[in-house]
């Protein structure tokens, strides 16, 4: 029997009509791209406001069921019974809407403070210490350093303590068929519909009751808060012949590393460079910052314009052709903070398309790395004394 943590999955064998091959499709990145920059992780625990039986005899749901039967050989009658139990989640619909005030949304210091607190740093060091072996394996296999993986798990789910208490079937059904009014409503609804499709395929393939899987208000699951489409495509198991268990640390670590590598993580390369604090460099950064996360300038172009880097021991000649983007981190009433983001910074925005998110993950990773190194040195010193 497959074992899943009781925090997220309630194991229940289900009928044979829920068994077939997995589908690889679109993923979590696309859903993250227009999520508001909230100050807590997507796996937060909220009180869910639900409406019963909204999707029984629902025309759009009935059409979806017909597609699932034709495309994946689902039993249409069984799916109708399943969706008769699905509930409209008013909380999910509310949470996917942009926050009311753009000024409040773009406050880097407030956002950062939610993730760089002492409690999260201490928990991250403990998590790193407990899972050093698998973090090293992930680094060797995918080239993603431990501090980045630990920071992502810390931001996404507080190391598994905040994985969400929403019924994923309800959240995905609501957002697929009742996405609230928004300029990109149809696009977003299609993405959630794809994730609903992949969620049903995934739960069928591994024998889970889809009504008992819990996650975030948007349907993200486990420590890494993967959307179902990304579970199918990127999740990895630490044991052969066992499906990935994203409530477990080992599989979550390997899955995040695999995800980042597949999107282009560059092993051994930096994430950001610091821009000089002189007025000239700051003016160039301000003029160049356009909000585009993908690197689209070269370092040489910015240096030629007069920008200076606050970075010692950097071989500028070797880096002239390095693609970069100017990252702007505004805080109302204070000077905007500017960084140069390299390819790996862009890859972090593929996990969640937000400069704030990627910057928080990076800064948390550096705090964890600084705190973890002394702990390692101290442990080695104690070991030498005892030997």
- So which residues are the catalytic ones? 156
Place of tokens 């910074």: 345
Beta-carbon contacts of 172 under 8 Å, excluding residues fewer than 6 positions away, are 192, 195, 196, 199, 219, 228
Tokens of 187: 């696009």
- Phi and psi at residue 217, to the nearest 5°: -65, -20
CA neighbours closer than 13 Å in the CB half-sphere of residue 320: 6
Tokens of 146: 């431990």
CA distance 172 to 176: 6
Tokens of 256: 């995040």
| Distance separating the N- and C-terminal Cα atoms of the chain | 43
CA distance 326 to 187: 28
Helix (H) or strand (E) holding 324: strand 323-329
- In this structure, the strands spanning 214-215 and 272-274 are unpaired
């Amino acid at each position: 029997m497959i074992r899943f943590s009781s925090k997220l999955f309630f194991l229940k064998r289900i009928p044979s009509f829920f068994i077939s091959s997995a589908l690889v499709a679109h993923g979590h990145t696309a859903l993250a791209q227009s999520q508001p920059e909230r100050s807590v992780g997507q796996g937060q625990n909220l009180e869910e406001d639900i409406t019963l039986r909204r999707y029984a005899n629902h025309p759009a749901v009935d059409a979806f069921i017909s597609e699932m039967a034709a495309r994946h050989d689902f039993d249409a009658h069984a799916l109708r019974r399943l969706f008769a139990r699905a509930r409209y989640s008013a909380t999910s619909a509310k949470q996917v809407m942009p926050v009311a005030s753009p000024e409040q949304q773009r406050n880097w210091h407030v956002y950062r403070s939610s993730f760089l607190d002492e409690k999260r740093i201490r928990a991250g060091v403990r998590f790193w210490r407990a899972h050093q072996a698998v973090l090293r394996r992930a680094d060797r296999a995918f080239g993603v350093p431990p501090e980045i993986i630990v920071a992502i798990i810390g931001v996404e789910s507080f190391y598994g303590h905040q994985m969400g208490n929403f019924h994923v079937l309800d959240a995905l059904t609501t957002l697929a068929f009742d996405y609230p009014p928004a300029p990109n409503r149809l696009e977003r609804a299609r993405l959630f519909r794809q994730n609903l499709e992949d969620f049903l395929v995934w739960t069928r393939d591994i024998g889970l009751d889809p009504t008992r899987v819990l996650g975030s208000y948007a349907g993200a699951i486990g420590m890494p808060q993967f959307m179902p489409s990304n579970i199918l495509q990127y999740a990895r198991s630490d044991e052969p012949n066992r499906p990935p268990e994203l409530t477990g640390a080992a599989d979550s670590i390997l899955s995040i590393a695999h995800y980042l590598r597949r999107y282009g993580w560059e092993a051994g390369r930096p994430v950001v460079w610091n821009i000089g604090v002189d007025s000239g460099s700051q003016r160039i950064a301000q003029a160049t910052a356009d909000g585009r996360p993908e690197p689209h300038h070269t370092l040489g172009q910015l240096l030629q314009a007069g920008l200076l880097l606050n970075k010692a021991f950097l071989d500028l000649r070797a880096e002239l052709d390095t693609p970069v983007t100017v990252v702007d981190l505004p805080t109302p009433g204070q000077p905007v903070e500017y960084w140069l983001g390299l390819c790996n910074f862009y890859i972090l925005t593929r996990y969640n398309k937000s400069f704030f998110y990627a910057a928080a993950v990076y800064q948390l990773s550096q705090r964890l790395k600084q705190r973890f190194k002394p702990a390692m040195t101290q442990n080695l010193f104690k070991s030498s004394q005892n030997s």
